[in-house]
Amino acid sequence: MNTSLDPPPKRGMGCAGKGCLILVVIVTLVVVVGVGGTFWGVHHYLADAPAPIAEAGAPAETSALTHGETSAPPAPPATVQKSAEVRERLDTMKKAARTHEEGEVELTAADINSLIGANRKSAGTASVGIDGTVLQAQFSIPLGRLDVPFRNALGLGNRYLNGTATIVAPAGTTANSVQLSDVRINGHSIPTGLLDFGLPGVGRSLRSYAGQYGVTGGEIRDGKVFLRTSGH
């Protein structure tokens, strides 16, 4: 008797993958529309060229997608290996949350950047740096790489979402209280409440996706991010 075996399920791309990039872009564009007044005002917040993104582990070097490029080259084996190790630690915390146990994961900027760099859809689009108690993220997301609604109709296919955002999370910060600060898109300051903005047609916010690993709180100190699950 012939028995067909279903292929093993593919592992999700996680928060650094294409799905999360699309969410970030959609939420940001909707907020920008609110600030700019019309969809045509969006063009003032987008750039026609990518911004240089610092390489993980090499702050002095920069890289960016060239104009019209839609995907990044394969990540170096070391980056892939590092990413797998970080994901394993995150999965351990996720399991602890499911069994109502306390858990903590310590992440350096290199750890976070490895997650971004190991995914072909997100590599080259973002980078983070941590200075003491402050995390700063820079990103340059090509809209042509993503299936953003009305992208081509609005003439945004060859545009880039370039910006920076800062996060400060002192001791006692919870998943519900962490906030972005000093968010800038193409040099323009925009509202910092992106994490709480409901996704059009979905209702969920970007903040709600942090729960996929059972994160209930954490802090930024000593140049590292500490994520915790309370076990409740």
Q: What is the pLDDT of residues 72-91, one digit of tens each?
A: 667 788 888 999 999 999 89
Contacts of 154 (CB under 8 A, 6+ apart): 39, 42
Question: pLDDT at position 13, please?
Answer: 37
**pTM of the predicted protein model:** 0.74
- The strand pair at 58-63 and 103-107 is best described as unpaired
pLDDT band for position 109 (50/70/90)? Answer: very high
- Cβ atoms 16, 56 nearer than 8 A: no
Checking if the pLDDT of 217 tops 80, the result is yes
- Specify which of 129-143, 172-186, 190-204 reaches the highest per-range mean pLDDT: 129-143
Closest CA to 103 of 113, 112, 91: 91
Better-scored residue on pLDDT, 194 or 154: 194
Q: What is residue 101's DSSP assignment?
A: -
Checking if the pLDDT of 167 tops 80, the result is yes
Contacts of 107 (CB under 8 A, 6+ apart): 86, 224, 225, 226, 227
pLDDT band for position 158 (50/70/90)? Answer: confident
Mean pLDDT value of segment 136-155: 73
HSE, side-chain direction, 13 A CA sphere, residue 78: 4
pLDDT band for position 53 (50/70/90)? Answer: confident
Question: pLDDT at position 104, please?
Answer: 92
Better-scored residue on pLDDT, 192 or 217: 217
| Cα separation values, 6 from 11, 12, 130, 141, Å | 15, 17, 43, 35
Closest CA to 125 of 69, 60, 209, 41: 69
Query: How many residues belong to the chain?
Result: 232
- Specify which of 42-56, 123-137, 173-187, 210-224 reaches the highest per-range mean pLDDT: 123-137
Mean pLDDT value of segment 187-192: 83
CA distance 207 to 216: 11
Better-scored residue on pLDDT, 34 or 52: 52
pLDDT band for position 22 (50/70/90)? Answer: low
pLDDT band for position 105 (50/70/90)? Answer: very high
Mean pLDDT value of segment 99-108: 92
Q: What percent of the chain has pLDDT over 70?
A: 62
Question: pLDDT at position 62, please?
Answer: 36
Question: pLDDT at position 4, please?
Answer: 43
